[in-house]
């Protein structure tokens, strides 16, 4: 079964119906999507924040490509790239990304933007963690046994959360105060709000959901909470069928000065602050 079949029958029907079957993209990469369809595997945070709703239509209008966005956790997005089921990735799990590149699954990797993670909780703050550093806050939550909701989905957010617990020599999984949703950031925020629990979120998705959930930022600003996004093209030498030309076009678009200006201003009008900060050209 080809890569579109593994994504799902509906996805395959859309691709077959909308695009021709063969087209030369580059001398070494022929896209099964006819060169016009581009599969972007990205994080739920870029989707839930609304950023892609602004950027993707602009890219499609400028480039002529039709983008099929699959919003999953960073781990799943990287797995899609490893299996040749995506052309380009927009993810935020640096250690996993570096392993992906070292294994030869990625061709190009460039920094696009950043925001940060924040530790959220109900205004009543039952564990009394407001203003603490993130390590002390998490240890306090564990010691007091106050409910913490985790994405539990192998996303970049989940990977960071687990790394923070490991630094404390704590394993929360299986504890009665620890709940894993197995879902994206938006859905996890809704669960945390319903249960008046603590959770770790990227700032962008929190701001997009703030008015619906009633949770507050209780811990922020730690160096460990920086959240960096990279765009990665899937290596056509590993998967000749990927749309490498389209992937490079999207990568170039994301780091273009005009796009970076859009990223810098996204969210300011609605939330009073940007949801992301442009990083093109940063190492």
Residue 5 binned pLDDT confidence (cut-offs 50, 70, 90): very low
pLDDT band at 123 (very low <50, low <70, confident <90, very high): very high
Residue 272 C-beta-side C-alpha neighbours within 13 Å? 1
Among candidates 270, 222, 227, 251, which has minimal Cα distance to 40?
A: 251
Does a structural domain hold residue 202?
yes
Separation CA 99–CA 109 (nearest Å): 12
Other Cβ atoms less than 10 A from the Cβ of 94: the count is 18
> What is the DSSP secondary structure assignment for residue 183, as one 8-state letter?
S
Backbone angles phi, psi at 265, to 5 degrees: -100, -10
In a shared domain, residues 18 and 152 = no
Q: How far apart are CA 88 and CA 59, in angstroms?
A: 14
CB 6 within 8 Å of CB 83: yes
pLDDT on residue 45: 86
* CATH number of the domain within which 249 lies: 3.40.190.10
Residue 124 in domain: yes
Answer whether residue 283 is part of any domain.
Answer: no
Tens of pLDDT along 27-51? 223 334 447 999 999 998 888 889 9
Most confident of 1-15, 133-147, 202-216: 133-147
User: Is 23's pLDDT higher than 60?
Assistant: no
Number of domains in the chain: 2
Q: Which two tokens stand for residue 98?
A: 């570096």
State pTM to two decimals. 0.78
Q: In this predicted model, what pLDDT tens digit does every residue of 35-92 receive, in sequence order?
A: 799 999 999 888 888 999 999 999 999 999 999 999 998 999 999 999 999 999 999 9
Contact 123, 197 (CB under 8 A): no
69 DSSP β-pair partners = 40
Q: Quick check: is 67 in a domain?
A: yes
Q: Which of 278, 253, 236, 282 lies closest to 113 in space, CA to CA?
A: 278
- Range of the structural domain that residue 256 is part of: 3-115+228-278
Taking only the tens place, the pLDDT of each residue in 195-244 is 999 999 999 899 989 999 999 999 999 999 999 999 999 999 999 999 99
Same domain as 214, residue 166: yes
Same domain, 105 and 232: yes
- pLDDT, tens only, 142-200: 999 999 999 999 888 999 999 999 999 999 999 999 999 999 999 999 999 999 999 99
The per-residue pLDDT for 236 is 97
Residue 260 pLDDT grade (very low, low, confident, very high; cuts 50, 70, 90): very high
Same-domain pairing of 135 and 202: yes
């Amino acid at each position: 079964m080809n890569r579109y079949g593994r994504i799902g029958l509906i996805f395959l029907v859309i691709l077959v119906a909308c695009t021709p079957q063969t087209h030369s993209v580059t001398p070494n990469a022929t896209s099964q999507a006819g060169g016009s369809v581009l599969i972007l595997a990205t994080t739920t945070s870029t989707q839930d924040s609304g950023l892609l709703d602004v950027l993707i239509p602009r890219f499609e209008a400028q480039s002529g490509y039709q983008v099929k966005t699959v919003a999953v956790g960073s781990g799943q997005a990287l797995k899609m790239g490893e299996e040749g089921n995506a052309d380009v990735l927009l993810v935020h799990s640096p250690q996993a990304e570096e392993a992906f590149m070292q294994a030869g699954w990625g061709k190009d990797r460039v920094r696009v933007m950043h925001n940060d993670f924040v530790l959220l909780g109900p205004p009543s703050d039952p564990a009394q963690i407001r203003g603490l550093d993130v390590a002390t806050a998490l240890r306090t939550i564990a010691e007091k046994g106050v409910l913490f909701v985790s994405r539990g989905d192998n996303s970049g957010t989940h990977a960071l959360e687990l790394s923070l617990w490991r630094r404390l020599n704590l394993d929360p999984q299986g504890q009665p105060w620890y709940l894993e949703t197995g879902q994206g950031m938006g859905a996890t925020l809704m669960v945390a709000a319903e249960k008046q629990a603590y959770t770790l979120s990227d700032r962008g998705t929190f701001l997009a959901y703030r008015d619906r959930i009633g949770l507050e930022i209780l811990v922020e600003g730690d160096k460990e909470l920086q959240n960096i996004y990279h765009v990665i093209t899937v290596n056509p030498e590993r998967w000749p069928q990927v749309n490498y030309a389209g992937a490079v076009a999207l990568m170039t678009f994301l780091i273009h000065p005009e796009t970076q200006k859009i990223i810098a201003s996204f969210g300011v009008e609605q939330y009073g602050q940007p949801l992301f900060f442009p990083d093109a050209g940063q190492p």
